Amino acid sequence: MSNKVSYANPAFADYPARSETEYSGGFLEDDKQGQYVPESTKDRFIRRITGFGGGSKRGRSSDTLVPEGSSRSSSTKSRGRVTNRLTKGGDGRQSHLLGDDDGDDPKSTAASDLARGITIADMLMKGWVYQPGSLLTTVPALRHAGGTLLGIVSLGVVLCVTFYTTAADSLVSPKLHFGRYQSLDLRGAVSLKYANSTALASRCPAIISSALDGPMNGSELPLSQSTCYKVHNSYQPLRDFTFFTDAWNGYRMDTSIPRDQLMRRPTGWTTVGNERYYGVWLDANGSDGLNNVTLAMPHGGVVPSVRNVTLNGLVQPEAQSDFGNIDITASVVSPAINVLCYRLTATTAQWFFASNSSSQRSGTLDPEVQRIFNFDPDPLQAKTTAADDLYLAPLFVSNPPAFNMAIFSSAGYSDPSMYTLTTANTTSPGYTLCALRSLLTPRCSTTYTSATGGGNVTVNCQPDSPSALSRLLPGALDVYQAQFKDISTQLSYALSLNAKDAAISRILGIFATSPAPGFNPSLPSVAEAFAILYANAVVLSSVGAQFGTSEQSVALPTTEGFSAWVRTVEYASGVSGGWQVSFYVVLAGVMVTNLFCLVYFFVTRGWVFDITEIENMFCVAFNSEPQLGGGVREGGFYGQGPRGQQFATAFHADVEEDKFVLRKRG
């Protein structure tokens, strides 16, 4: 054996090598010391922290242990006293700390007795962090190491590492999502009053010039424009009616909707431009052959106002590569169509047929009919003005054939209604009289959600809606719009409702034959069908019209403001769903672990030697004796790996001259 003892451990590089005589007093010889057990990580960490108090670490010590029969030479004392400190460990027992004074000598008997070494299960913990799936292949190691403090911490780190990417992607990575609602005052261009038939016709892209088909009979517009309007706005109502009947097929199959909840009966939708407009039933009631429904639609002027960047400066979806959306709820009036239908007998219906041979109406006016429609009971056929607060009853030229209908539009705007009379039977004729009229209601609000290539526009008429215009203007009331009668009359002719044996008239006649009092649970009523046919005209009538937010009339054209709640889609990070809050635990665990490791490596800098690294473990195992601790080879260690209790076998790193070796503990 050499006269000098040197160590390959870099932790001891700053200390001079000592001769064998220096160890003769209180230390064991190399061949008699069976194991080297280093100072525990916890104790070393505490010592390092307490060493920041100031003064030289070297030479300081507390309780000094001097083995029996040992003596120290003056040369040893001159290099510093060989000391060991006794402290209370976390488990309440005294633990041994190797001091800087003794050069952290690995041959200390006290150090050998106090440390427990490292087991195979301990060495597998780092693999759990690198490859969490390895936990499934090392279940025995988990049983032996999982219950220790280090094992519990390692399992926590494994969970954090496993879910870190998901947590970071959910909470940190910016994503497109709606921000918070903001209360804004927006403005929109207003150029006309609601239901301006001339303006609607003038918007139509006519292919025939006014020179070829000019004004006739004193019309303000060329017939080319009004004809264009009738053609362009006849296909959309029929298309909407198709959507409505499709919705009814689904409604009849959905037994989860109670049939007595009339407000949940299908409404369908209509399309204007690239946006789809959804209506809701504002009112629906009926009994004994009476159907009274009111369909509220979104205001058609909200979308153009939101799209007007000059007026409102809202970021449009196309400005964000078609990924940005706008969600806006506007407190404006909502256009609506009210349809009141009542079933008549053949005798009662005679009151409404014109007679060329008499100036008086035939038959008598049914008192119930007079009350429902608020008709003037005067039988004079030629009467042109109704009594105060009453309406003139319609006079149809002829009795329509079975499953056909007649149209009547009263003169003037005192009565806002257009009337239809549908013949509903062939054998015993029955009739259904309907009054169609439009209104503007402040009981709703309009919501527009833009999207790539279009968007959805809905109306909210819930009684407790905080965004309804009536909340801002408590004095606002429903107001019937008599000028809509011109639009509804033109549209009825465009739909051929007055033509003999028209397909749409026959379908409406079938709806009118329903024997059920009130509303048939299996078929839509004729009142609901009429409301759907006129939904598109209601929305178009509100495009460019006033928002109803001002109680004073203003000169047109102008701009009008309205209150709105706006939120936009933008890139932002954070929680987008309630379940994602749990990922904060993962991010917090990663942060705490990183901070601890930062402090630990700073305090123990220069002392870190990871024996579990592949290259280090190979060198240590290569230098170790085949007979671990002088015993026989452990079964299962060679050729097939450890099993069972072998995961709990403890080892420690020892130093033999200039190399590390691995020895079995105990």
508 and 383 in one domain?
yes
Instruction: Pick from 4-18, 72-86, 117-131 the range whose average pLDDT is largest.
Output: 117-131
422 and 527 in one domain?
yes
384 and 239 in one domain?
yes
Residue 41: the pLDDT is 55
- Is residue 637 domain-resident? yes
pLDDT cut 70: percent of the chain above it? 75
Please state which of the ranges 70-84, 519-533, 608-622 shows the lowest mean pLDDT.
70-84
198 and 333 in one domain?
yes
> Strand (E) positions, 92-246?
94-98, 118-119, 175-178, 182-190
When pLDDT is cut at 50, 70 and 90, the band that residue 627 belongs to is low
| Structure-block tokens of residue 242 | 């198709």
251 and 197 in one domain?
yes
Final residue in a domain of this structure, among 551, 586, 621: 586
- Is residue 595 domain-resident? no
Single-letter amino acid, residue 269: W
Instruction: With a cut of 80, say whether residue 306 has pLDDT above it.
Output: yes
pLDDT digits (tens, 9 = 90+) for 326-339: 899 999 999 999 99
pLDDT digits (tens, 9 = 90+) for 453-467: 789 999 999 999 999
306 and 216 in one domain?
yes
d(CA 440, CA 337): 9
pLDDT digits (tens, 9 = 90+) for 401-456: 889 999 998 878 899 999 999 998 766 678 999 999 999 999 999 999 987 778 99
Rounded to 5 degrees, φ, ψ at 98 are -75, 125
656 and 525 in one domain?
no
Residue 322: the pLDDT is 59
Residue 190: the pLDDT is 95
pLDDT digits (tens, 9 = 90+) for 464-483: 999 999 999 998 999 999 99
Final residue in a domain of this structure, among 528, 561, 586: 586
CA dist 423 to 239, 290, 363, 407, 418, Å? Answer: 24, 16, 18, 12, 17
- Is residue 594 domain-resident? no
HSE-up of 139 (CA within 13 Å, CB side)? 2
- Is residue 369 domain-resident? yes
- Is residue 652 domain-resident? yes
Contact predicate 380/360, CB 8 Å: yes
474 and 607 in one domain?
no
Contact predicate 223/214, CB 8 Å: yes
437 and 357 in one domain?
yes
For 371-385, give the secondary structure using H, E and C: HHHCECCCCECCCCC
When pLDDT is cut at 50, 70 and 90, the band that residue 35 belongs to is very low
d(CA 122, CA 649): 10
Residue 161 has a CB neighbour count (10 Å cut-off) of: 18
pLDDT digits (tens, 9 = 90+) for 122-179: 777 877 887 787 777 777 777 777 778 888 888 888 888 888 888 887 787 777 777 7
- Is residue 292 domain-resident? yes
Pick from 529, 507, 510: nearest CA to 339: 529
- Is residue 591 domain-resident? no
- Is residue 657 domain-resident? yes
pLDDT digits (tens, 9 = 90+) for 247-295: 999 999 999 999 999 999 999 899 999 999 999 999 999 888 899 999 9
Instruction: With a cut of 60, say whether residue 521 has pLDDT above it.
Output: yes
Its domain, for residue 154, covers: 126-174+577-586
Number of domains into which the chain is organized: 3
397 and 335 in one domain?
yes
d(CA 553, CA 541): 18
Model pTM above 0.85: no
191 and 297 in one domain?
yes
Q: Which contacts qualify for 59-62: CB closer than 8 Å, 24 or more apart?
A: 59/101, 60/99, 60/101, 61/85, 61/99, 61/101, 62/86
655 and 507 in one domain?
no
